[in-house]
Structure 1
Amino acid sequence: MADIVFLAGATGAVGTALIPFLKAAGYTIYGSTRTTEGAKKLENAGISPVVVDVFNASALSDALCKIRPQSVIHQLTDLPRGLDPAQMKQAVVNNARIRNEGTRNLVEAAKAAGSRRLVAQSIAWAYRAGAKPYLETSPLDMEAPEPRSVSVNGVVALERWVLTVPELEGTVLRYGQIYGPGTGADTPAGASPLHVEAAAAAALLALQRSHGGTYNIAEDQAEVSSEKAKRELGWSPSMRQADGA
């Protein structure tokens, strides 16, 4: 029987791009959404929808205990399409809450359901200023002033939840600035750009090949080095859905 995967944030940009990779690899997929509209989208994509709010810890735990996924993939965010500047001040706060409280609830639900692996989305631009390219061992910007501190503290919380739970083999993917279909950005932007399908490919490879830990995931010539992901996961920034992984 195929391994069961619970994909949190299945209707987001990376989640949407990840579904074809997971289906091609033969996984049985359950995807989370908060809305009936999202559920219909997931049904049309050929996966089983789970309507649940990550902030409802008991409902989330109940849902995962019924599904009993071997693996959980965390692609939850709360950001406006195209990172609309007019909405970003509140979005940064909302997103930090997902990274902290939402990740905690997801980890606890995964533990209760007996899951073995957790792969989670983080970001590659929370490093403290220093020598470049940044490696996974480079320090995060823990002393950043507001409003940057809100994002950095959210990242620190997410990564702590994912990487320090003995019951789960936790992998953190520090994504660069994502562009491509469904993201609101058609072309590369930022210091460490990343195509959304390459981000999805990294999640599949982490699910299949990672033994836990942290990986930078960004294009070549980025502000961060992705050599660890290339070496250990076999990842490439040129990966797309048509290529498989």
Structure 2
Amino acid sequence: MTDTTTNAAGERIFLAGATGAIGRMLVPLLTRAGYTVYGSTRRAERSAALDALGAVPVVVDVFDAAALRAAVQRVAPTVVIHQLTDLPAGLDPQQMADAVVRNARIRSEGTRNLVDAAVAAGCARMVAQSIAWAYAPGAQPYTEAQPLDLEAQGARSVSVIGVAALERCVLDTPGLHGAVLRYGQLYGPGTGAASATGASPVHVEAAAWAALLAVQHAAHGAFNVTEDNDVVSNARVRRELGWEPGLRLSAEAM
């Protein structure tokens, strides 16, 4: 693997969704690695929690395009990390139907606003959260080269269309060097699942490590981020970023 790691000295990170399950794990990893982290939240009452984690709080709503652009320009980040979601605590089944629609809006409209803000601020790099269970039916294990399930129906269609919009925006915007991390089913603190669940799970701390490594290696393209399984291949993220499923917050930053 070619060593493309970047030096964190003086680099600012704008972390959108810093109070989410992955964001809370990612802030200390980034700061320990030497980055200055500006963590966004739409709720002012969460600022103290971000400060305690080591991030500079930025209160802004991703759907307020003008305010978001101004906030990102003030930070002038080297990299923008997109970990925004809108999901209920514990993935409450009674709330998921509405949450799927809200989450898809974040992935489409919210991502577009965030990408536009990054480009306007002169930031040429982005790492964004995607999912590893949006592939069209086909040969397994799924690799990043296989197509998304754009013929899906019902609630799955809403999610897949949102994911496709996010990935196009991050990967195809001229002048933006983007990476999308296709996370498996999250488990661990803050996820609502204490143990591995689903066909291609990943621990939330390992998921956060993937984002740090994507920043450090200036990653480009799509990466499946899952534990070893027969459904989704994690060969690329292992090979190109040196990621391992067993990484936790206690591991040393590279």
Residue 210 of structure 1 deviates from its aligned partner by 3.6
- Could you state the TM-score of these two structures normalised by the residue count of structure 1? 0.98
Counterpart-to-counterpart distance in 2, 1:140 and 1:46? 37
- Aligned with 1:225: secondary structure? coil
Q: Which residue of 1 aligns with 2:5?
A: none
Range with bigger deviation, 67-76 or 214-223: 214-223
Structure 2: stretches of 5+ with no match in the other structure: 1-8
Are 1:32 and 2:40 matched, yes or no?
Answer: yes
Residue 184 of structure 1 deviates from its aligned partner by 1.3
The answer to whether the 8 Å contact 1:210/1:233 transfers is no
> CA RMSD for the aligned pairs?
0.9
Could you list the per-position Cα deviations for residues 177-207 of structure 1 after superposition, in whole angstroms to 9, with x for gaps in the alignment?
Answer: 0000111111000011000000000000001
Alignment of 1:74-153 (within 5 A): 74-153=82-161
Are 1:47 and 2:81 matched, yes or no?
Answer: no
Q: How many residue pairs align between the two structures?
A: 245
Q: 1:211 to 1:182 in 2, by over 3 A?
A: closer
The answer to whether the 8 Å contact 2:143/2:232 transfers is yes
> Structure 1 residue aligned with 2:208, among 200, 219, 228?
200
The answer to whether the 8 Å contact 2:140/2:230 transfers is no
Counterpart-to-counterpart distance in 2, 1:106 and 1:96? 15
Are 1:209 and 2:217 matched, yes or no?
Answer: yes
Counterpart-to-counterpart distance in 2, 1:130 and 1:82? 30
- Aligned with 2:66: secondary structure? helix
Could you list the per-position Cα deviations for residues 101-144 of structure 1 after superposition, in whole angstroms to 9, with x for gaps in the alignment?
Answer: 00000000000111121000000000111111000011110101
Residue 221 of structure 1 deviates from its aligned partner by 1.5
Structure 1: stretches of 5+ with no match in the other structure: none
Are 1:20 and 2:37 matched, yes or no?
Answer: no
Counterpart-to-counterpart distance in 2, 1:103 and 1:211? 18
Counterpart-to-counterpart distance in 2, 1:79 and 1:104? 19
Residue 222 of structure 1 deviates from its aligned partner by 4.8
> Structure 1 residue aligned with 2:13, among 5, 13, 26?
5
Aligned partner letter, 1:168 = L
Aligned partner letter, 1:144 = A
Residue 37 of structure 1 deviates from its aligned partner by 1.6
Are 1:167 and 2:175 matched, yes or no?
Answer: yes
Aligned partner letter, 2:244 = S
Counterpart-to-counterpart distance in 2, 1:108 and 1:230? 30
The answer to whether the 8 Å contact 2:14/2:37 transfers is yes
Counterpart-to-counterpart distance in 1, 2:194 and 2:218? 30
Are 1:190 and 2:198 matched, yes or no?
Answer: yes
Residue 244 of structure 1 deviates from its aligned partner by 2.8
The answer to whether the 8 Å contact 1:179/1:186 transfers is yes
Q: Percent of pairs identical after alignment? A: 61
Aligned partner letter, 1:55 = F
Aligned partner letter, 2:215 = L
Counterpart-to-counterpart distance in 1, 2:98 and 2:153? 17
The answer to whether the 8 Å contact 2:11/2:35 transfers is yes
Aligned partner letter, 2:140 = K
- Could you state the TM-score of these two structures normalised by the residue count of structure 2? 0.95
The answer to whether the 8 Å contact 2:28/2:54 transfers is no
Are 1:227 and 2:219 matched, yes or no?
Answer: no
Counterpart-to-counterpart distance in 2, 1:201 and 1:124? 16
